[in-house]
Amino acid sequence: MFRMHRPTFTKPLMRVTLITFLLGFSALALAQMGQGGGGMQGGRGAGRMMPSFSDFDADGDGQITQEEFEQARAERIAERSSQGYQMRGLADAPSFADLDTNGDGTLDEKEFATGAAKRHGQPRP
């Protein structure tokens, strides 16, 4: 069988490329796990970054309207998807109406926190 001879620099170059890739990937992963600000990162551990009330309250008035809720949810889904997260459980995500327990058309911090706690299996606030 005919066998091609590779140049002698190919193996070291491949090793350097692989090492560079692994170091870069590790640094990126560590940066994402340790970063506290920016994006919707409530800080509940790597991979389970939960949004905070302020992430949804776009105008900062202390209430989340249905429009703010839907916009923030769409942005969060797009952000997490672009980061490579699998979007499991979207069909089971609570609707605005599910969270608006008093039916006033807005969510306050307590309604938001109670809904998040139910969804993520944490004790209610």
Q: Divide the 125 residues of the chain into consecutive groups of 10 and give the mean pLDDT of each group.
A: 58 65 59 46 47 92 95 90 83 89 94 81 52
| 80 contacts: CB under 8 Å, gap ≥ 6 | 87
DSSP secondary-structure letter at 92?
A: G
Domain extents in the chain = 49-120
Question: Strand 64-65 to strand 106-107: parallel, antiparallel, or no bridges (unpaired)?
Answer: antiparallel
The CATH number of 49-120 is 1.10.238.10
Query: Against a cut of 0.75, is the pTM above it?
Result: no
The pLDDT value given to residue 61:
96
Total length of the chain: 125
